C-alpha cells in the first residue's frame, strides 16, 4: 500500500511538472516598416582635403621654380623617400613633372603642380581627378610661412 501511494504521488508530480512546461506558441513581434529609410552617407567626390603645413623642397631647383607659390597639388605622401621617388617615376611616365616636398611632419609629399592662387589649384585637382581616376584622392597643401 505504501508503495502504491508513493507511485501515485510520483506520477502526479510528474504530470504536474509536464503541464507547467507546456510549449506556448510565442507571439511574433509586429513588423515595423520604415516609411523613408535614411540613405547611406556618400563621399562627396568634389570635396578636396586641405592641409596647411611647413615644408622644404628636396631639390634646390624645385625651390627656385615653385618658391613663389603657396598652393600645392599633392598626389602622394610617403613615409619613405624611396617610395616617393619610385612614385615620381610613375608620374613622369604619365606626363607629370613631380617634386618632393619634405613636410614638417616627416612625410615626403609628391606634388605635381603649384599655384599662387587657390582657385587655380582646386581647378587642377578636379582636372586630375577626372582624367586620372587612380588619383581621386589628390589633395591641396597650403604652405605655412
Query: Is the CATH code 3.40.50.300 the one for domain 50-143?
Result: no
* pTM (global) more than 0.75: no
What are the pLDDT digits (tens) for 112-136?
999 999 999 999 999 999 999 999 9
Residue 133's SS3 state is helix
| Mean pLDDT confidence for 74-96 | 97
pLDDT digit string, tens, across residues 12-68 = 555 555 554 555 555 655 544 545 444 444 556 679 999 999 999 999 999 988 989
Q: How far apart are CA 46 and CA 48, in angstroms?
A: 6
- Tell me the H-state helices in 72-137: 81-93, 118-131
Euclidean distance between CA atoms 14 and 131, whole angstroms:
80
pLDDT at site 16:
53
Give the pLDDT mean for 91-111. Answer: 97
According to DSSP, the residues that pair with 141 across neighbouring strands are: 51, 72
Q: Where are the domains of the chain?
A: 50-143
Burial status of residue 141 (CB atoms within 10 A of its CB: 0-12, 13-18, 19 or more): buried
Amino acid at each position: 500500500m505504501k508503495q502504491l501511494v508513493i507511485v501515485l504521488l510520483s506520477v502526479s508530480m510528474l504530470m504536474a511538472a509536464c503541464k507547467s512546461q507546456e510549449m506556448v506558441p510565442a507571439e511574433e513581434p509586429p513588423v515595423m516598416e520604415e516609411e523613408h529609410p535614411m540613405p547611406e552617407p556618400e563621399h562627396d567626390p568634389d570635396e578636396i582635403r586641405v592641409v596647411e603645413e611647413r615644408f622644404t623642397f628636396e631639390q634646390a631647383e624645385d625651390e627656385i621654380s615653385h618658391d613663389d607659390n603657396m598652393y600645392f597639388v599633392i598626389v602622394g605622401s610617403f613615409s619613405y623617400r624611396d617610395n616617393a621617388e619610385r612614385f615620381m617615376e610613375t608620374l613622369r611616365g604619365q606626363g607629370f613633372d613631380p617634386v618632393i616636398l619634405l613636410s614638417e611632419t616627416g612625410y615626403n609629399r609628391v606634388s605635381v603642380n603649384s599655384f599662387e592662387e587657390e582657385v587655380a589649384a582646386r581647378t587642377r585637382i578636379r582636372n586630375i581627378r577626372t582624367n586620372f581616376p587612380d588619383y581621386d584622392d589628390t589633395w591641396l597643401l597650403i604652405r605655412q610661412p
